[in-house]
C-alpha cells in the first residue's frame, strides 16, 4: 500500500526531539501561549522574513483573523480562486464579505492579475490569491494590481510554506497572509494549527487581540474576539519541523521532478513551473483526459491518488444561489481532468518508479 502522504517516516527522524519537548511541557504545565509558542512565532517570522508571525488554531482561522485585522466588512467583495479548498471562501464569508471567483490559468492552476482585474467592481476591497499546490501565484503582478486599485492583498499560504518568489518567501508580499499546519501540509503539526503573518504592527496587535477573546490585557475586552490559539504541544512539533523544512521541501521537489521525468511522452500534462517562483509541491497534480481509468488502475494496486478538487467552489451547493450564472471554463475543465499522486518528504525513488509503472501500463498501451 502506498498512501498519498506517509507521515511515519518523517516522525521517526524527529521522535526524540519531540518527545523531549513534550516531556518538558508536561513538567512545566504552561499549556496556553507558553514558551514554545512564543519561540515558534519568532523562528517562523525569521524564516519567512516578516516582522510579525502570530500563531492560531487553524489555517481557516488564520485567514479569518487576517481579514478581520485588515478591516474587511460585510458587503465587501474579496476576489479569490474557485479552484481551492473551501476554507479560503469560508473565511471570507465569516467576516460577512462576498467571495468573487476569478478564472485560473490553465498551466499554473492559479488566478492571475489579468483574471482578477476582470472581476473587480467598486465593492472589491481585497484579493486573496491561493498559492495552490505549493506553486506561488504571479505575486509581483498581483501586488502591483492591488496597489493600483487600492486593494488589500491577503495571501492564502496554506499550501505554500517555504515557497518563494525572487528569493522572498510567500506570506510576505501583501498586507497579511494565512498559513495552515494541518498534518498533511508541507509544514504540519499533530492536529490543527495556523499562522498569520504581517509586516504591520497595528494589524499584528489586532490579530493577537482577536485570537485571544478580544483582550489586550487579561479580563479587559474591547472587541468580541475568538478562542483561536496554537497549542503549546503543537508548537513543540512545529519547532522541530521548521528546522528541517527546506530539506522536506527539497525532497518534495526531487520527487516531483522524478515523476515528471518518468512520465514524459505519456498522454498527460505534468505540473508546470513558471521559473519565477519556487514550487514546493504540496501536491503533484496532473491533467489527463483518461484520469478515471488511470486512477482505477492505481487504486487496484492500493496506490493512493486523489482529485483536488473535484467540484470548484462556484459549483458547490453552498454557493449555488450566490454563483448562479458564474462560468469559469478553465477552472471547470481542470477540475474535470486533474488528479494528484502520492508525494511527501519521505517518498523514495523506487516508490515513484512503481507508481509510474502502473500509469504506463494504462497509457502506453
The residues binding ligand PLP (CB under 6 A) are 58-60, 84-85, 87-88, 130, 156, 158-159, 180, 182, 192, 194
Asked if residue 75 lies in contact with residue 97, where contact means CB atoms within 8 angstroms, the answer is: yes
Provide, rounded to whole angstroms, the least separation between the CB of residue 187 and ligand PLP: 11
Q: 5 Cβ partners below 8 Å, 6+ apart?
A: 184, 342, 343, 344
Nearest residue to ligand PLP, using CB? 59
Provide, rounded to whole angstroms, the least separation between the CB of residue 262 and ligand PLP: 27
Half-sphere exposure of 102 (CA within 13 A, CB side): 27
Asked if residue 259 lies in contact with residue 356, where contact means CB atoms within 8 angstroms, the answer is: yes
Separation between Cα atoms, residue 270 and residue 273, nearest integer Å: 10
Separation between Cα atoms, residue 210 and residue 68, nearest integer Å: 8
User: Which C-beta is closer to ligand PLP: that of 35 or that of 191?
Assistant: 191
Cβ count within 10 A of residue 26: 11
Provide, rounded to whole angstroms, the least separation between the CB of residue 259 and ligand PLP: 21
User: Which C-beta is closer to ligand PLP: that of 62 or that of 294?
Assistant: 62
User: Which C-beta is closer to ligand PLP: that of 175 or that of 352?
Assistant: 175
Cα torsion at 167, 270, 312, 84 (round to 10°)?
-20
Provide, rounded to whole angstroms, the least separation between the CB of residue 133 and ligand PLP: 9
User: Which C-beta is closer to ligand PLP: that of 55 or that of 266?
Assistant: 55
User: Which C-beta is closer to ligand PLP: that of 36 or that of 159?
Assistant: 159
Provide, rounded to whole angstroms, the least separation between the CB of residue 122 and ligand PLP: 27
All cell numbers assigned to 207: 490579530
Q: Which of 51, 313, 1 is nearest to 207 (CA)?
A: 51
User: Which C-beta is closer to ligand PLP: that of 130 or that of 305?
Assistant: 130
User: Which C-beta is closer to ligand PLP: that of 156 or that of 231?
Assistant: 156
Provide, rounded to whole angstroms, the least separation between the CB of residue 331 and ligand PLP: 14
On the 0-12 / 13-18 / 19+ scale of CB atoms within 10 A, 48 is buried
Q: Which of 311, 289, 283 is nearest to 158 (CA)?
A: 283
Provide, rounded to whole angstroms, the least separation between the CB of residue 61 and ligand PLP: 7
Q: 165 Cβ partners below 8 Å, 6+ apart?
A: 136, 139, 140, 173, 276, 277, 278
Separation between Cα atoms, residue 65 and residue 209, nearest integer Å: 10
User: Which C-beta is closer to ligand PLP: that of 47 or that of 83?
Assistant: 83
Provide, rounded to whole angstroms, the least separation between the CB of residue 182 and ligand PLP: 4
Amino acid at each position: 500500500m502506498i498512501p498519498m502522504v506517509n507521515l511515519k517516516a518523517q516522525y521517526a527522524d524527529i521522535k526524540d526531539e519531540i518527545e523531549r519537548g513534550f516531556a518538558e511541557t508536561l513538567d512545566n504545565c504552561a499549556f496556553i501561549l507558553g514558551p514554545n509558542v512564543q519561540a515558534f512565532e519568532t523562528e517562523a517570522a525569521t524564516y519567512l522574513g516578516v516582522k510579525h508571525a502570530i500563531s492560531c488554531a487553524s489555517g481557516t482561522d488564520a485567514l479569518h483573523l487576517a481579514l478581520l485585522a485588515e478591516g474587511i466588512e460585510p458587503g465587501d467583495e474579496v476576489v479569490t480562486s474557485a479552484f481551492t479548498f473551501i476554507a479560503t471562501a469560508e473565511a471570507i464569508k465569516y467576516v460577512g464579505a462576498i467571495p468573487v471567483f476569478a478564472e485560473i490559468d490553465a498551466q499554473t492552476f492559479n488566478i492571475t492579475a489579468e483574471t482578477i482585474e476582470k472581476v473587480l467592481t467598486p465593492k472589491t476591497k481585497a484579493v486573496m490569491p491561493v498559492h495552490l499546490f505549493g506553486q506561488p501565484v504571479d505575486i509581483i503582478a498581483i501586488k502591483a494590481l492591488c496597489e493600483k486599485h487600492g486593494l488589500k492583498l491577503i495571501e492564502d499560504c496554506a499550501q505554500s510554506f517555504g515557497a518563494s518568489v525572487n528569493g522572498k518567501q510567500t506570506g510576505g508580499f501583501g498586507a497579511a497572509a494565512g498559513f495552515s499546519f494541518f498534518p498533511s501540509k508541507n509544514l504540519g503539526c499533530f492536529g490543527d494549527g495556523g499562522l498569520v503573518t504581517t509586516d504591520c504592527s497595528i494589524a499584528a496587535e489586532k490579530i493577537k487581540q482577536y485570537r485571544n477573546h478580544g483582550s489586550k490585557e487579561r479580563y479587559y475586552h474591547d472587541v468580541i474576539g475568538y478562542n483561536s490559539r496554537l497549542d503549546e504541544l503543537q508548537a513543540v512539533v512545529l519547532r522541530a519541523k521548521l528546522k528541517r523544512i527546506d530539506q522536506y521541501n527539497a525532497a518534495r521537489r526531487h520527487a516531483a521532478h522524478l515523476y515528471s521525468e518518468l512520465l514524459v511522452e505519456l498522454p498527460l500534462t505534468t505540473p508546470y513551473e513558471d521559473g519565477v517562483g519556487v514550487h514546493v509541491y504540496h501536491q503533484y497534480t496532473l491533467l489527463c483526459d483518461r484520469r478515471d481509468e488511470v486512477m482505477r488502475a492505481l487504486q487496484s494496486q492500493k496506490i493512493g491518488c486523489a482529485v483536488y478538487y473535484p467540484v470548484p467552489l462556484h459549483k458547490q451547493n453552498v454557493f449555488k444561489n450566490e454563483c448562479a450564472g458564474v462560468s469559469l471554463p478553465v477552472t471547470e475543465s481542470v477540475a474535470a481532468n486533474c488528479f494528484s499522486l502520492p508525494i511527501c518528504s519521505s517518498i523514495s525513488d523506487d516508490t515513484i518508479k512503481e507508481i509510474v509503472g502502473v500509469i504506463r501500463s494504462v497509457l502506453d498501451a
